[in-house]
Amino acid sequence: MHLISASRKTDIPTFYMDWFMRRIADGKAYVYNAYRKEAKAVSLAPDQVGAIVFWSKNYRPAFPHLKRLHEMGYRLFFHYTITGQLRVTEKYVASTTQNIEMFQSLAKTFSPEQMQWRFDPIFYTKSMGKAYYLEAFERIASELSGYTKRCSISFVTLYPKVKRKLNRELDEDYPVEIPLAERLELTAALQKVAARYGMQLFSCCQDELCSIDGVKKGSCIDAQHLSEIFHIPHIYPKRPTRESCGCYESYDIGYYNTCPHGCVYCYANVSHASALRNYKMHCTEAPLIAGDVEVSVLKQEKDGNGNVRVSNGEQLSLFD
């Protein structure tokens, strides 16, 4: 059995759940490598999937489908990002109040053990500093208490592209690199709040935060936790996606540059305009989230290992 990630690359529950359910009906999905221009087919049969790990900022559009997946025998785990940031940084994300209510509904329908709150990324602007994040974290944590026992945090990685986008969108000389001492100070304060509301605080890809008492190294794809709550064998090796990543092996079936949420800190999109265009072009029947591409157009050749090589360059043309 393998683990499915849906998805680090885009928000499938908000925007692509019809497409996802079509892949479920097909019994398989494809993991696309944009650099090699090839895709690997992975089974979505219930007896072949250890668990599906979803990532989203709004599960409301997916809610009926998630209940159906549960009825079909799939084991589901939910990463739910709720930051409480200002609208200027998360332009098209549902309100914090709406997402808190949806988080609670998911936990009631499934279980708190299947929920993980993500409070990330953290970055300072003129309007959002330490006091802002502490207040937002306290407010959200108080509402999610009892609905989850897990919360992960991270500070934004200021890739040049991300920093340029933030400076342009926020129209200010921000964000700035937060000194380590200040990051540790805020993390310690957040840990105390999390503990007060019955949550374990995890650090995502930033091991330096684990020097704070009570903060643990996080695994977004946490095979150990999944094996404990779903009673499945822990047969998955560690497969970090970047430095300090604690994730276990999984297959991510998403596609970059396809999320229309419009978050100014997003590293997965080239631009909001191109992501929105790709979303509008996507085809539910297509094997990949990549625009209006007919299945018959996607030329595939299986290699000796059963992998599917995509020889059609049209998939890459969506990245403008």
- Every domain of the chain and the residues it spans: 2-256
Query: What pTM was computed for the model?
Result: 0.91
> What CATH number was assigned to the domain covering residues 2-256?
3.80.30
DSSP H or E segment with residue 192: helix 180-196
CB atoms within 10 A of CB 295: 12
Q: Over the range 304-314, which residues count as b (16 or more CB within 10 Å of their CB) and which as e?
A: eeebbebeeee
* CA 102 vs CA 97, 109, 148, 275: distances in Å: 9, 10, 13, 25
- Strand bridging mode 150-155 / 76-81: unpaired
pLDDT digits (tens, 9 = 90+) for 96-123: 999 999 999 999 999 999 999 999 999 9
Residues 6 or more apart whose Cβ sits within 8 Å of residue 102: 58, 59, 60, 63, 80, 94
pLDDT digits (tens, 9 = 90+) for 186-222: 999 999 999 999 999 999 999 999 999 999 999 999 9
CB atoms within 10 A of CB 296: 6
Q: What is the pLDDT of residue 19?
A: 98
Distance CA 46, CA 50 (A): 8
Average pLDDT of the residues in 158-183: 84
pLDDT digits (tens, 9 = 90+) for 35-74: 777 889 999 999 999 999 999 999 999 999 999 999 999 9
Residue 298: pLDDT band with limits 50, 70, 90: very low
